[in-house]
Structure 1
């Protein structure tokens, strides 16, 4: 609930209440990526040296939720209020990234490989339902206030902090097993070289980075189109998120089941192709009901992408260096997440919104086809075998 409320309504707060510029909306996406990149670099050095991950995750995620109070306490009388909100949001991503790295290492330790798709599918359904409830309630409440008023948003961010405190309490209740093999690992730079020489891991990191660039390039463009062009209010922004999350709830388990039957990379490529259509579909019409439908369509495939990007990372990572592999992967994607939104805004300055969204669609589609490349090779091999036998 906490992260869903903040991520959904901070853009609306910036554009409607604080009148942020397009560049500040781009920084809303790229600055957290920069702080996340720095945190990922530190995490890559720090986390592999931990023997237990729960305490680290609890501390860093609680620090993240504390930064939600900064969003509420930004002095609004200053002309720099929008920039301060962007900075506070970026600051939140530093402990959030460290917390995610710790949580990923913890959950990889707790959940065996054979259960990952089903576990994450069910878990994602539950947390999406809860997050959906928070978004609906928040969007409905904001509808009663002037969209340019600032106080309602401040109250929302305080509420997000209180929900985050409950989240941290539940996280602290995890029981992490202590094994005799769990020992702090000394920092060895050769570990990163060994990881890169691991072909399945290297290939997956490069594919994920390429796909994420096209995926994240259009993230600030969605907020600009939906709020500035389609004039979506708080209720409609909540409806967009609700439509996406409702579709995710309905399809998480399906993607996990299909990944077990047909392979995670194949289903990741198919999910990516569906997600690739979203940018171009979005700019076809500013009709708010239509955009709600596009967000529902997006959620069908987004659930597969978010589920399988992580599970396939775990499968591609060497078990002996998994925590380091996760951290290094996040460093690479942190670079992508910092650069891609800025590229999207630069494109918007040079060309029309429709053309920028089309480029994102084509890039996403190309990345999805790369995920399917091993399948294409298998199909060609089978066709060749069939032709030879014929």
Structure 2
């Protein structure tokens, strides 16, 4: 198998995917609130409902993927379906204002059915194509390039949206169409990948009889990772809706300022991603992941110190330094903690649990906001994130350094 060729196409696929999704994804909160008039409750549902849909998708999805003769083709079909459904959002502003926000909530939730299958199949495919010794270097390079692309697209999109009224739907509709065109390129390069070797597929099918059995958690590295990752995702996702609400309603950020937030965040990711990869190679993935997760814990409480847009822009640079680390190291740790045989079943169980977290955590964040106010809610979230970082440190010190765990 030509790993160099697969890595090249994966890089092109990542760039096309980033352009396709970044053009609109970062501005969905602004679109929902400023154009459609979404409420805090609807914003919470936009964040949380996709996780429940993804969870429901993974139940048959793992079975379909394990039975599929081609992991690559499965990824291609589900990715195309996801991007096509996302483009349908461009018709939402034509609906009655009383129903439009709810239709947006429904579409964003529904597209996560094929989206979850797309993500699962891509992880399985790329995990089989890129050998473990190449992953740190390859994914750090890939993340670096996709982050540069995201930065450029975000900045240009912000300037474009700034030329229109905040409540004007037309510029967003243009972006949805442009995003779909790049999605076609994304699907093309995904199709250009090699497929997982037939021997590997057959081996995985033989080990995939117990799709959602708790037996996978007998594999100690996987169990340790899941516990830490669940705690981390609870802290991370509790704040998703709150950040958007704070930036739009309290800091009065426009599309241009949203682009500044994203660009500075992405610049920091570009500058730091190689350092995280080297640090992980030197000190161990889990130990360095603790540092990245602890850095993420500072984001909510530091956000509350000021509504000054220049301060929030600088803060996003600080946050970006740790975002690059968590993105890279969490994925590497996931692949490291899952055995090659029957990997898709391990990934499906992991995604299934995260889907439950993804539904509960944002709703709990909105609950904290409504009952305790923005400052207290953000402070609580910072504490939860710090505890998550400490859990990775505990695994690094008490589990991984003792002795290698045995697979079942």
Scaled by the length of structure 2, what TM-score is found?
0.90
1:8 to 2:29 alignment: no
Unaligned stretches of 5+ in structure 1?
382-390
Match of 1:338 in 2: 359
Deviates more, 1:367-376 or 1:251-260: 367-376
Paired residues of 2:62 and 2:211 also in contact (CA < 8 A): no
Cα distance in 1 for partners of 2:23, 2:109 equals 16
1:38 to 2:56 alignment: yes
Cα distance in 2 for partners of 1:4, 1:40 equals 25
Residues 199 and 125 from structure 1, CA distance in 2 versus in 1: closer, same or farther, beyond 3 angstroms?
Answer: same
Unaligned stretches of 5+ in structure 2?
1-18, 403-408
Cα distance in 1 for partners of 2:130, 2:242 equals 37
1:140 to 2:159 alignment: yes
Cα distance in 2 for partners of 1:178, 1:45 equals 19
Determine helix, strand or coil for the equivalent of 1:134.
helix
Match of 1:233 in 2: 254
Cα distance in 2 for partners of 1:14, 1:346 equals 20
Q: CA RMSD in A?
A: 1.9
Match of 2:285 in 1: 264
Residues 147 and 195 from structure 1, CA distance in 2 versus in 1: closer, same or farther, beyond 3 angstroms?
Answer: same
1:112 to 2:131 alignment: yes
Paired residues of 1:68 and 1:158 also in contact (CA < 8 A): no
Cα distance in 1 for partners of 2:330, 2:251 equals 31
Count residues in correspondence: 381
Determine helix, strand or coil for the equivalent of 2:213.
helix
1:185 to 2:205 alignment: yes
1:351 to 361, 372, 378: 372
What pairs up with 1:100-179 in 2 under 5 angstroms? 100-179=119-198
Cα distance in 1 for partners of 2:91, 2:66 equals 36
Cα distance in 2 for partners of 1:237, 1:185 equals 45
Match of 2:221 in 1: 200
Deviates more, 1:72-81 or 1:282-291: 72-81
Deviates more, 1:358-367 or 1:238-247: 238-247
Paired residues of 1:41 and 1:328 also in contact (CA < 8 A): no
1:19 to 2:19 alignment: no
1:79 to 2:109 alignment: no
Paired residues of 2:293 and 2:389 also in contact (CA < 8 A): yes
Match of 1:243 in 2: 264
Match of 1:387 in 2: none
Paired residues of 1:20 and 1:82 also in contact (CA < 8 A): yes
2:81 to 58, 63, 70: 63
Cα distance in 2 for partners of 1:301, 1:3 equals 22
Deviation (angstroms), 1:291: 0.6
Cα distance in 2 for partners of 1:30, 1:193 equals 25
Paired residues of 1:72 and 1:153 also in contact (CA < 8 A): yes
Residues 302 and 216 from structure 1, CA distance in 2 versus in 1: closer, same or farther, beyond 3 angstroms?
Answer: same
Residues 181 and 302 from structure 1, CA distance in 2 versus in 1: closer, same or farther, beyond 3 angstroms?
Answer: closer
Cα distance in 2 for partners of 1:84, 1:267 equals 42
Deviation (angstroms), 1:165: 1.4
Deviation (angstroms), 1:191: 7.0
Deviation (angstroms), 1:70: 1.1
